[in-house]
Amino acid sequence: MKALVKVARGPGLELTEVPVPVPGPGDVLVRVLRTGICGTDLHIDAWDEWAAATIDPPLILGHEFAGEVVEIGSSVTRVQVGDLVSGEGHLVCGRCRNCKAGRRHLCANTVGLGVHTNGAFAEFTVLPEQNAWVHTHRVDLDVAAIFDPFGNAVHTALSFPVLGEDVLITGAGPIGLMAAAVARHAGARHVVVTDVSEPRLELARKLGADLALDVSQQSVGSVYPELDMSEGFDVGMEMSGQPSALREMIANMTHGGRIAMLGLPASEIAVDWSRVVLKMLTIKGIYGREMFETWYAMSVLLQAGLDISPVITHRYAHTDFAAAFATARDGRCGKVILDWTES
């Protein structure tokens, strides 16, 4: 089969022939239909400091995908051949305290699909049955392919109640954009998204933001009169990992405000912790998706009319992966999809 592989240490990827994986007793074999390109994949392609310290080539990339189950292991009982599935890319141990308590998203022994083990940028991939989310209702294939990052957005956006609240989202990358759509759907009074990329701010407007703000031109605090606000934001969602964004968010939270922090900083961030204490703010770190409550919420949100399709801005055949990665790296786009049914 064809697969997109990091064949050796150093920049670059190759689309090459590899053996079709064989499912174990508890696994399913999936014919991959669509995949989404993630920032993690860009890091691995570029072979930056994080990738050099984390990745052990040869490795098939990819953890955002949707496909059709074509074979099941002897112990598989729930998933059936022919099912359309998306994949939960965090493979947990099932033995630690959190796993046994049903808090699998907190497993300290998590293995990343397409990071620590071969992933889904291939014509076929193998996944443990428990990691295969079966779509029981009709869903667009491109949307099904991005259930992984959609789950990050839902996990972040619903960590705190947003009904009737004023919400600030810093970072209009794909996950921030989807979080804006979720917050709007969940009844937020105002949703403000900040970034410095006008193309992404325009996407934020399409996905339901009341105000998409270029913070290189205007401060967050300057929009209060326009939104009839006086005390700051009730809920913050930090998606950028930028030090200035977190500091600006903390400065503009109301007393008792709550921050869900998904953006991963590249280095330490200096924060005025006296503001956090005196405002009695709550800051919650978010990583991945709650297994599998978030997945249930994603499916229900789509069935209830939430439309995240505008976040998908580019589609390429998998053979045109170089152009797809260049588009994703350019940063003036939403999600970029690879079609594994086209050549």
Q: Which of 312, 323, 322, 27 is nearest to 147 (CA)?
A: 312
CB 188 within 8 A of CB 160: no
Cβ-Cβ contacts under 8 Å for 103 (sequence gap 6 or more) = none
Q: Is 296 annotated as a binding residue?
A: no
Q: Is 127 annotated as a binding residue?
A: no
Q: Which of 127, 140, 89, 121 is nearest to 7 (CA)?
A: 121
Q: Is 332 annotated as a binding residue?
A: no
d(CA 178, CA 211): 15
Tokens (6 digits) for 102:
């049903």
d(CA 159, CA 146): 20
CB 284 within 8 A of CB 159: yes
Q: Is 333 annotated as a binding residue?
A: no
Tokens (6 digits) for 148:
């992984």
Q: Is 49 annotated as a binding residue?
A: no
3-state secondary structure of 234: strand
Q: Is 116 annotated as a binding residue?
A: no
Q: Is 59 annotated as a binding residue?
A: no
CB 124 within 8 A of CB 31: yes
In the chain, what is the straight-line distance between the N-terminal and C-terminal CA atoms, in Å? 13
DSSP secondary structure string, 136-170? Answer: -S---HHHHHTHHHHHHHHHHHTSS--TT-EEEEE
Give me the active site residues, please: 40, 43
Q: Is 200 annotated as a binding residue?
A: yes
What are residue 243's phi and psi, to 5 degrees? -55, -45
Q: Is 165 annotated as a binding residue?
A: no
DSSP E strands, 37-165:
59-60, 64-72, 84-87, 90-91, 111-112, 124-128, 132-134
Q: Is 286 annotated as a binding residue?
A: yes
d(CA 273, CA 283): 11
Q: Is 195 annotated as a binding residue?
A: yes
d(CA 58, CA 135): 31
Helices then strands, each counted (H, E), the chain: 11, 18
Which residues define the annotated binding site? 38, 63-64, 93, 96, 99, 107, 175, 195, 200, 262-264, 286-287
Which residues define the annotated binding site for Zn(2+)? 38, 63-64, 93, 96, 99, 107
Which residues define the annotated binding site for NAD(+)? 175, 195, 200, 262-264, 286-287
